[in-house]
Amino acid sequence: MKITDLKCAIIGNTPVVRITTDEGISGYGQAEWSKPYLKPYVLFYKPLILGEDPTNVERVMSKIRRLGSFKPWGAAVSAIEVALWDIAGKAADLPVYKLLGGKVRDRVLVYNGGIRFPMEGDSSPENFAKNILKMKNLKEGFSIIKQGISLHGQMADNFDKYFYGDISWDERNSIIFENDSKDQWALSQYLPFGGQITEKGMNYTLDCIIAMKEVLGDEVGLALDCGPGIVPHDALKLAQSVEDLNIMWMEDMITGDYTPYVLADLYRDVTINTSTPIHTGEQIYLRQNFKDLIDKRAVNIIGPDPLDVGGLAETKWIAEYADLNGIMIAPHGTIDGLIGLAAHVHLAATLPRNYIALEYPVPCHKWWYDIIEGLPDPIVKDSFIDVWDSPGLGIKFREDEASRYLDEEDKDFFN
C-alpha cells in the first residue's frame, strides 16, 4: 500500500486531513477548530509522505515529526498521525485501539470542559454558581467539570483592579478588537498578559471557587483552568488557599495554552508545596518536551492534547512514562471535534492506570453530528463513553451532507 495524496479541507473552521492510498483506503484526522489557518502547514508535509506505506506509521512519522513544534505547529503533524492510524486499522480490519496495544478498559471516563453556557449577568460568585449548576445538570452526567477562573476565560477581564499595575482591561480589549476578523475571539487568548494579583482579586477568585464547590458538593469533581500567566508565588498562594476544597486540579497556572516552553522548575516549586493537584501540558509538543516535567515530578497531572503533542502513539508513550513516575494523565481535547473524539476514545481505552479522564471534545457547529456517523448514540452515558469495535477510528463522513460545507477550493476533497 502506498500513500497517493494528502489533502486538507477547512470544514466549518475545522482543518480536516484526508490521506488517500493506491488501495482505495482513506484515513482522516483533524486539528482543533480554532485553527482554520492550518491548511498550508498540513500540505507542507505532502511531498515527504507520498509513496510511503501508511501502515508503517512510525516510519512515516519519523520523516515529519522533527519538522513540527509547540502549538499550533504540531497540530498538522498530529492530524496526519491520526489519519495514518485510521488507514492502518481499516487495512487490518481492526479498531485503532488494537494497534495501540489493546484495551485496558471497555469504557472511558470523560469530563466536561467544552459544553458551556454564557455567564448570566456579571461574573459574580453567585453567577459562577448558577453557571456550574447548568453544567452539573447536563444529560451527559459528567462526574468532573472544568471551569475557567483567574486568567482563563473572562474572570480577570470583568473585574476591576484584578492585577497591580496601570494597564486597564478597556485598553487591552481595544488592542484585541482592532482586528475585526472572524477569529478575533481567539486572539485574546494569544496576547501576553498577567501580573501579580491584587488582594481584592485573589479574594474574589476564591469566593467564586467556593461558590462553585458548594453547588457541586462531593457529587461532581471541580477542576480549574487558571492561566497561563499567573506568577509563581500567586500560583502557590491560590493552590494553598483551596486545599480544603478537594479540587481535582489547577491547570496551566504559570504556562499553558500557546506558551512555547515548559518551565518545569517553576511548576515544581508550586507542586511540592501544596496538596492541591497541579496540572499542565496541553501546549507541549513531543515526548522530549515532557521529559523535564516528568523527571522532576514538577506536576501531579499532565494534560497532553493528542492533536497537538504529535498524535496517539506519542501521547501513549508520554502516559506510560508518566505512570512510571507516579504522575496522572487527563488529556486535553475540548475543541478537538468529532474526529478528534473518536481518536481520543481509542487512545484512552489503551492508557495505563494513571488515566483519569479525557476532556470531552465538541464540534464547532452542531451540524457536524449530521455529517459524521459511527459514534455511539448517546455518545456519553453517566460520564462514560463505550469503546466501539469498528475498524480504524470507526467513523466515516456522510459525504453528500459534508460536501455542502466545503469551500469551492476543496470541492474535490472526497474524490
Sign of the torsion formed by the C-alpha atoms of 132, 139, 227 and 277: positive
Whole-number percent of the chain with pLDDT over 70: 93
Q: Dihedral of the CA atoms 241, 243, 249, 254 (nearest 10)?
A: 30
Topology (CATH) of 99-166+197-392: TIM Barrel (3.20.20)
* Weakest-pLDDT range from 62-66, 157-161, 277-281, 349-353: 157-161
> What is the rounded distance in angstroms from the CA atom of residue 29 to the CA atom of residue 160?
43
pLDDT digit string (tens) for 98-146? 999 999 999 999 999 999 999 988 889 999 999 999 999 999 999 999 9
Average pLDDT of span 183-204: 70
DSSP β-bridge partners for residue 106 = none
- Is residue 332 scored above 50 in pLDDT? yes
> What is the rounded distance in angstroms from the CA atom of residue 132 to the CA atom of residue 338?
24
Average pLDDT of span 255-275: 96
Domain boundaries, the chain: 3-94+399-410, 99-166+197-392
pLDDT digit string (tens) for 231-252? 999 999 999 999 999 999 999 9
> What is the rounded distance in angstroms from the CA atom of residue 7 to the CA atom of residue 223?
37
Average pLDDT of span 356-382: 98
Average pLDDT of span 28-36: 96
Q: What is the pTM of this model?
A: 0.94
* Weakest-pLDDT range from 171-185, 286-300, 378-392: 171-185
What pLDDT is recorded for position 193? 63
> What is the rounded distance in angstroms from the CA atom of residue 233 to the CA atom of residue 366?
42
> What is the rounded distance in angstroms from the CA atom of residue 328 to the CA atom of residue 316?
12
H-helix or E-strand spanning residue 59: helix 57-64
Average pLDDT of span 307-336: 98
For domain 3-94+399-410, which CATH number applies: 3.20.20.150, 3.90.226.10, 3.40.980.10, 3.30.390.10?
Answer: 3.30.390.10
pLDDT digit string (tens) for 48-106? 999 999 999 999 999 999 999 999 999 999 999 999 999 999 999 999 999 999 999 99
Average pLDDT of span 365-389: 98
Average pLDDT of span 262-269: 98
What is the average pLDDT value for the chain, to the nearest integer?
93
H-helix or E-strand spanning residue 290: helix 288-295
Q: How many residues does the chain have?
A: 415
CA 108 to chain centroid, in Å, comes to: 16
